[in-house]
Structures are given as structure tokens and as C-alpha cells.
Structure 1
Amino acid sequence: MQTERTTHLWDADAARDYDTPGTGMFAPEVLGPTVARLAGLAGEGAALEFAVGTGRVAVPLAERGVPVHGIESSPAMVEQLRAKVDAATVPVTVGDMATAVVPGEFTLVYLVYNTISNLLTQAEQVECFRNAARHLRPGGRFVVELGVPELRRLPPGRDATVWGVEPGYLGLDTYDTVHQLLVSHHFRFDGTRRARLFRTPHRYVWPAELDLMAQLAGFALEDRHADWVGAEFTADSPSHVSVYRLPPAP
């Protein structure tokens, strides 16, 4: 089950190290456009974040006046979120984002920063789309931010790509192309000869497969861009933000 995997992976130590205020995915130039776009898509309704984590997006979205509820499988991540806001500001249901149901009706459900790939089977990912549809009112939207698999960078006979090289940090992905799985390896160096390693498993998904999952859940693709500010999605885009929509009420 995804909940058991995530609880083991995102334990207290991992949750404590998750936030990087002002840098990486917490940088204003990354977070600002994300929150602005989601606020516009939510409109006058409420939003539900699958895998809400420590509230990187949910907290600033709530500060903009959008009612936000979250689903999160890791109690340790929720504990970090609670250090920022209380349960009245961002209520959270602890459970699996593919199956957990929360009360209320939403205009927007969203999954950011590759989180849908944490579901390691196609069946779980399809159920995630169905769960999003279950929570949305007619005409509601499901937004997924996801990287494009970098298989074109794999030379024959190689099964790994290096995607992050910074002082004190090295990031690489290893691929199992038979089972459509990858593992991200995060090495952090503290000035000694030793390194700390954190691994996260993922099931990578091509945009076309994602679109088929959406159709199975009753969605249609409304638009797709390369980023949150609306850049054109092309064959060279490393990621995409895809907006799926349910049919409006008759």
C-alpha cells in the first residue's frame, strides 16, 4: 500500500529535512507562480491537495483566501505542517491519496512536484485520477505537475542520469525501463568523507499515458504547459503542468 510505503520513507528525519526555505522548490520564483495559477483555477471554490506534505503550496494558497484541505499519508509530514498552521487553517486527512475520501466538494484537486509518481503501479495512479474525480463538482479541475522521463539521455547500456550537481549535493536517477520505475538518489555531503543518501522510488509516466488515465476517470485535457507561468510545452520540455477537467453540469 502507498500509505505504508510513504510512512516508512517520509519518517521524522526526512520530514524535518524536507523544507528548504527560499531555495529549490521553495524559491519565490518557483512557488509564487504555482500558487498564483492554482488560486486562479480554484476560483471561488475550495481546493484539495493530494500529498499535501509540509504545506509548501497549501499554506500560501490558504493565505490567498482559498479554502484548502489536504490528504497526506505521512504523519511526520503533517507534524511539520502543523508547526506552520493549525487544523482549522489547513485541515488534513491522513491516508492514501488514491483512496482516502474527505468531506466537501471542490472546484480544484491538485498534485504538484511529481507526487503522482510516488504511486508505484499503474493501477494506483488510475485510482488517483478516479479519487480526484470523486471529490470534484461538475466542471472541476484536476492539476498534475510531472516531469517528463529523461530516457533520451540514456546512452545504450546505461541506466542512470545525473540531474543535479551543486556544492554539497549530487542527484541522479536510476531507471528500470522494463517496469517503468526509477529511483532518485540524493547525496548530501557535510565536508567530511561521508555522504548522506536519501532514495525515493517513482513510477514514471509519459504525458500520453497520463491523458489516458484521465479519460478513464471521466476527465478531458483542458491545457498543458511546460511550467506554471504558461510556457509552451514542447518535445524538449523537462516537465509539464497538465489541467484536466470534468464535464460541466447539464
Structure 2
Amino acid sequence: MRQDEIWDADTARRYDTPGVGMFADDVLGPTVARLAELAGDGAALEFAIGTGRVAVPLARRGVPVTGIELSRPMLAELRRKADEATIPVVVGDMATAEAPGRFALVYVVFNSISNLLTQAEQVACFRNAARHVVPRGRFVVELGVPELRKLPPGQTALVFHDEPGYLGVDTYDVLNQQLVSHHVTYDDSRQGRVSRSPQRYIWPSELDLMAQLAGFDLETRHADWHGAPFTAESPSHVSVYRLANA
């Protein structure tokens, strides 16, 4: 599936879930607070800005935010919240598109870097971040840790979430380092709805090598936006890279 097929108008309309899930205050609040701290007095650039889940509250905190976004339907939802003067956005691929200016902080959150389906594209994303940051600027990546330890031999699928009305299943292709997230929503009728998103998963050590290729050094890695220690059991991480060539 192409990314423009996944992030279509229907998905964009259903993406925002105000107050719950990834839009819950206890999820979004620490994210925005940490990014504002890292941006300091400088400007920020968000790769895959989407509907503005993070960018809108970050801009409200006084951080000038620019975005890059491939999906025009997602951008249309963002425009319901903030105009071009408030949050300018370049339509394009986060691995190659260029935004005007230089930024203290570039960030990509909620596993969005894994939407780039090849290692080469993911390395290009790091290099694109390096082109956009000021000397000693930072690139922040929020990303899940692959759950391959949970896969018994011969099994290729894992249920990652199960609640009334929703079932989430990841299917893995471990040979090619690919997974597809299947999101099934249903009600009391016999009808259900399935959406899918393919990803290329990245190990933390591989992510660090991508960073080195682009001229970044790992500055910090935590298990979440609160700053909890990252351990072997952490399901995700927030990694902060700093440009080394200055």
C-alpha cells in the first residue's frame, strides 16, 4: 500500500480522538512540554506533522512550528485548527522535502519514521533532519521497540491491543524487517472495519547508526516523555540526537 492510500480523507477525518488515546492529556502534555524544553528559544520542524496533534499545542506554547506532511487530507484537518501563517507546512516526503529556514529542533513522533519502508529512506530522513537543524541542533525520534521476543517460533502475528470495539494485530515479516498493523473496529452488528498500515521496524542500535551516518550523536534516550529510564523491557523510546559537526 502507498502512503497516500493509507492516509486518505477517511483516515484523516477519523484520526483525531480528542481527550483519549494519543490525544489524552497525560500523553500529549509531557510530549509537548519536553519538545518545548528542547526547542528553547528556537524554532521547531515536525516531520509527518499530520493533523497537528503535537504541533498545535506546541505552537500555543510559543514555539514557532513548521511542518512537512505527505498527506493532503491530513493537512486539511490541520488547517481546521491552524492556518498557514500560524503553522506553515511543506507538502512532501519527510525523507526529502525541504522547509525554508533552519531549526533548533526537528522531531518525528509516534512511530512515524517507520512509515518509511526502506532502510535507505530512513537514513535519508536523518540526513534531511541534519540539513534543517542549526549547528548543535537536535533531532528527536519517538519509536516503538520491535516485540519479536513475544513471537513463538513459527508465529507471525501478535495482538497488541484488545478492547470492546477494537482489535489491533501486528503481522511480522522478520526476514525483511517489515510489519503491518491491522486495526479492526466493530460493533454489535456483524459488520467490522479494517485498516492497515505497513511499517519498517527499527532497532534502537540501528537507529543510532542511522544517526551517525547523518552526523548526529545520541544525547539521551528515555523510555517515555517523562524521562523514565530506558531498559531492556521498555516498549518504546524517545531518543534525542544532537548534530556533532559544530
- Normalization by structure 2: what TM-score? 0.99
Matched, 1:227 2:221: no
1:161-189, Cα deviation, whole Å (9 max, x unpaired) = 10101110000100000000000000000
What is the alpha-carbon distance in structure 2 between the residues aligned to residue 75 and residue 190 of structure 1? 30
Pick one of 203, 208, 215 that aligns with 1:206.
Answer: 203
Q: What does residue 34 of structure 1 align with? A: 31
Q: 1:150 aligns with which of 130, 136, 147?
A: 147
**Does residue 85 of structure 2 align to residue 88 of structure 1?**
yes
CA contact (8 A) 2:220 2:239 kept: yes
In structure 2, how many angstroms separate the alpha carbons of the residues matched to 1:24 and 1:166?
12
User: After superposition, what is the alpha-carbon deviation per residue over 1:26-56, rounded to whole angstroms, capped at 9, x for unaligned?
Assistant: 0000000000000000000000000000000
Cross-structure match for 2:2 = 5
**Residue from 51, 56, 71 that aligns with 1:54:** 51
What residue is the counterpart of 2:96 in the other structure?
A: 99
**Match of 2:188, SS?**
coil
CA shift digits 1:188-241 (9 cap, x unpaired): 003211110000000000000000000000000000000000000000000000
1:121 counterpart = 2:143: no
* Residues 125-144 of structure 1: pairs in structure 2 closer than 5 A: 125-144=122-141
Q: 1:17-32 alignment to 2 at 5 Å?
A: 17-32=14-29
Q: Tell me the residue number matched to 1:242.
A: 239
User: For the residues of structure 1 that align with 2:234 and 2:6, how far apart are their CA atoms?
Assistant: 29
Measured in 1, the distance between the counterparts of 2:207 and 2:245 equals 21
**Percent of aligned positions that are identical:** 72
Report how far residue 6 of structure 1 moved. Answer: 1.8
Q: Output the CA distance in 1 between the equivalents of 2:18 and 2:61.
A: 19
Q: Cα distance, 1:8 vs. partner?
A: 1.7
Give, in whole Å, the separation in 1 of the partners of 2:132 and 2:21. Answer: 31
> How far, CA to CA, are the matches of 2:17 and 2:188 in structure 1?
19
Q: Per the alignment, in what secondary structure is the counterpart of residue 17 of structure 1?
A: helix
Q: Secondary structure at the match of 1:81?
A: helix
Deviation at 1:246, TM superposition (A): 0.5
Q: Does the 8 Å contact 2:215/2:245 carry over to 1?
A: no
What is the alpha-carbon distance in structure 1 between the residues aligned to residue 188 and residue 143 of structure 2?
33
How far the C-alpha of 1:248 sits from its partner, in A, is: 6.3
Partner residue, 1:180: 177
| Number of residue pairs the alignment of both structures matches | 246
Q: Which amino acid aligns with 2:132?
A: H
Q: Secondary structure at the match of 2:2?
A: helix
Name the Cα RMSD after superposition.
0.9
Distance 1:114 1:121 in 2: 14
Which residue number corresponds to residue 195 of structure 1? 192
Q: Runs ≥4 in structure 1, deviation > 4 angstroms? A: none
Question: What SS does structure 2 have at the residue aligned with 1:132?
Answer: helix
One-letter code aligned to 1:189? Y
Residue type of the partner of 2:152?
A: P
